[in-house]
Amino acid sequence: GSDPWGVKVERVEIKDVRLPTNMQRSMAAEAEATREAHAKIIAAEGEKKASRSLKEAADIINESPIALQLRYFQTLTHISAEKNSTIVFPIPIEFLKLMRTRGSSSTTSGF
């Protein structure tokens, strides 16, 4: 642009730029939106990996019924490590029916 005046420009250096406040806010909002979008993508990838791991665990437990019982005991052990814990053991209805059947044939019954 300076050739018609006989001035040859080889290099331009900018030392100080002052942006209007509105533009600074817009740039900051854009950067924040980009960071949030990136964080959501990372979280979604983590959820996808977790769901795959849970499916694999469910498949393993499905193949071996005792694996579910072992996992149950492991969970109870983990819970009981805390000092102020109350653990409720679920008892299958079939077990109670079996106990009632056996209890009715003896002289003492706990039910």
For residue 110, being part of any structural domain is answered with no
- Rounded CA gap, 49 and 41, in Å? 12
Domain span at 64 = 21-102
Average pLDDT over the chain, rounded to an integer: 83
Phi, psi of 59 (to 5 degrees): -65, -40
For residue 107, being part of any structural domain is answered with no
For residue 2, being part of any structural domain is answered with no
Quote the percentage of the chain above a pLDDT of 90: 33
User: pLDDT (tens digit, 9 = 90+) per residue, 19-68?
Assistant: 899 999 999 999 999 999 999 999 999 999 999 999 998 898 888 878 88
57 in Cβ contact with 68 (< 8 Å): no
pTM more than 0.85: no
For residue 4, being part of any structural domain is answered with no
> What is the predicted pLDDT for the residue at 101?
74
> What is the predicted pLDDT for the residue at 111?
46
Q: How far is CA 34 from the centre of its chain?
A: 22
For residue 5, being part of any structural domain is answered with no
